[in-house]
Every structure is written in structure tokens, then in C-alpha cells.
Amino acid sequence: MSKPRVIITRKWPEAAEAEAKKLFDVQLNKNDHPMTVAELQEALRTADAVCPTVSDTISAEVLSAQPLKCKILGNFGVGFNHIDLNAAKERGIIVTNTPDVLTDCTADIAMTLMLMVARRAGEGERHVRNREWTGWRPTHMMGTKVTGKTLGLIGMGRIARAMAHKAHHGFGMKIIFNDPYPPPKEIVDNLKAESRNTMEDVLQEADFVSLHCPGGKETYHLINKERLALMKPGAFLINSARGDVIDPKALINALKKGTIAGAGLDVYEGEPKVQEEFLTMNNVILFPHLGSASTETRVAMGMRAIENVNAYFNGEKPRDRVV
């Protein structure tokens, strides 16, 4: 029996691509270019499965491709707000994601953003590289202590819990959170975490606020002018979730006016475009969506996407099905 034809939309780590070649008749994106709407539609017309990434907008327009051959979208990533799930469902296309395997690395990035913005690490590194440093002095480039401070988490899913573990057990931070679906009591107890009734309660109390909620219509511009105004003037906002959770204009204004002390961003609304004003600010750490960017994790994500697609073609239920 012939192998299923699978199109992988972006370049994957070599080990994951090699595994895909063993199992499928696979088409790779060797020059790693972002696929156009027309190319994505052609993929849906000609492949049994397509493996997109967060950089591929699988819209209703893309999913309207005729005739449709694709039966499953094996998404490379845990987030799937770049896929029109309703349109996929209407067309009878299964959608899977890759949870679990990127939890620790994304939490590591959230911690890195928090530490860097608090201690002015990006600014300091540029200071040295630009040969501006004239030597140690007592008042030079003072930042904010992290150990012992209060970390507020908006959302308490896998990545938030991993960050909370590192922050509490590694840095002695007090953990507070708001989530409509709180984790089991034993997890909360292990972290000595405290639930707050509303997001606003977290924003008012925390020294650092880290966002761990999904993207989409329900969370679009969740952090806006009014909610930023609730934060302490010395507080910092961290986002390793999805860019459109924050209203960027409101954040820029809050940073300019000193409403909050700083921000650490790994994701952006409309990425890869980044609002120009962020680029000139020293109180913002800017990463290029590095959340899962370790070799180990990206290989594991590819393997998980392959596992889901392979399970489907073997007549089994993919374990990470979202539609």
C-alpha cells in the first residue's frame, strides 16, 4: 500500500524530517519560505495530510480549497489560533497539536524574560557591546530584585505551572493566579499558590504578571489600557503566550508613561512585524518567538506531530486531537 502524502509547510529539525520520510511520502519546504495562500490551498488539494506551524494562517479561505484531499492538519505547535477550527470542522478535517513537549522550554523563556527585564540585562548587554561601560559604580544600571517577589499568572495551564515551579522553588517567589479552570489541589499546594477571584485581583497585587492564556477572540486584547492601569508602577508584564492577548498601543503608552516598569515579550500581534516604538525602548525585552526554540523540544514537537498523523492513517485516534 502506498504511503500517505504529507506536506510539511516549514523546515523542521533534521531528525524530525528524517522520521517523517520513513513513514510518509513527504514534501519538505527546503528553503523554509512562508507558504502563500495559493501554496497552502494547493497543499490541501494534493496531500493526505498537511503539517502547518504558527506562522501559517490556515484561514477559511485556505480551507475552501477544491477539490479537498487533506484529511488531517498535524499542527507543529501547541497553539492553534492560526487555524480556523470551525472551517476545518465544516470541511471534515481533523486538527491536532503538540502539547506537553514544549512546556518546560516555554516556561524557561518566560523566566528568562522576567529575569532580563527586571535586571536590565538587555540594556546592560548593549551597554557593553557598544563600548559605553566605564566601570562598576554603586548606582549604575540598578534593576529590580526577583527573588521573594510575587508572580501573578493569568492562566494556570501546563506552561504556567512549570514557570510557577521554577519561580517558587528556585527563586522563593509567592505565586498567585487566576484561571477559570484551576489545577488540582495537590499542584496548588506544592507551589503554595493562591487563587484570586479575578484577573484584576492578580494585576493589582503582583510584582510580575505572566500571561499564559490561549489566543483567539475570547482573549483578544485581554490586557488593555484599563487593566494595565491596575498594575503597580514598579510591576513588569511578561508574555510568552500569544501576541494578540495584549493591546500593543496600550502597552506602549503604559511603558512610556511609567504606568508599569517594563515588559518582556516573546510574541507580538501581527508578528513577525513588531511595533516600531518597542524597538527604541530600554524597558522592554524583545525575543523572536523563542518559546520552544531548543533542539530537543523542536525535535519532540515534530515527532509528536508525526505521531498524530501516523495514528490517524493507522486507523487510530490521534491523542492530541483538537477538532
Provide the strand spans (E) within the chain: 5-8, 25-27, 49-51, 72-74, 94-96, 150-154, 174-178, 194-195, 208-211, 236-239, 262-265, 284-286
Q: Nearest 10 degrees: CA dihedral of 57, 60, 3, 10? A: -10
Q: Nearest 10 degrees: CA dihedral of 5, 10, 16, 17? A: 50
Question: What secondary structure letter does DSSP report for 35?
Answer: P
* 24 Cβ contact list (under 8 Å, min separation 6): 3, 4, 5, 6, 49, 309, 310
- For the record, the C-alpha cell of 136 comes out as 562598576
Q: Does residue 212 have an active-site annotation?
A: no
User: In whole angstroms, what is the distance from residue 106 CA to residue 203 CA?
Assistant: 22
User: In whole angstroms, what is the distance from residue 8 CA to residue 51 CA?
Assistant: 5
Q: Does residue 242 have an active-site annotation?
A: yes
> Choosing from 5, 10, 289, 321, which is the catalytic residue?
289
Instruction: Indicate the helix (H) or strand (E) that contains 1.
Output: none
* 277 Cβ contact list (under 8 Å, min separation 6): 252, 256
User: What length does the chain have?
Assistant: 323
> Choosing from 91, 271, 277, 321, which is the catalytic residue?
271
> Choosing from 120, 196, 212, 242, which is the catalytic residue?
242
Locus of grid cell 494556570: 156
Q: Does residue 289 have an active-site annotation?
A: yes
What letter represents residue 134's amino acid? T
Supply the residues annotated as catalytic.
Answer: 242, 271, 289
